Amino acid sequence: MKLLVRNLARTTTEEQVKELFEEYGTVQWCKLIMDKATGGSKGFGFVEMPKPGEAKVAVKNLNGRSIDGNKIRVKKAEDKES
């Protein structure tokens, strides 16, 4: 299940996000979206967890949690319309 993680602090790293989600299960991959102009984080990213049950527990436990001073928002990522 692909999850959208929003409202991340610009200083939060991909590795920190991955470790956070690994507390709830297997993380297939984690990707923060970077600003092409500055090279810094745009404050959101995606996490892929192969087991839906683990992903749902991660969403329940991490949505609203304060990380690096920001309350993050976690939800199931919507598939892009083609």
Q: Where are the domains of the chain?
A: 2-76
- Residues 39-52 as b/e (b if ≥16 CB within 10 A, e otherwise) read eebebebebbbeee
Q: What is the pTM of this model?
A: 0.92
- Give 46-56 pLDDT, tens digit per residue: 999 999 999 99
- Give 14-39 pLDDT, tens digit per residue: 999 999 999 999 999 999 999 999 99
Check if the beta carbon of residue 5 is closer than 8 Å to that of residue 55: no
Give the HSE-up count for residue 59: Cα atoms under 13 Å, Cβ half-sphere: 18
CATH number for region 2-76: 3.30.70.330
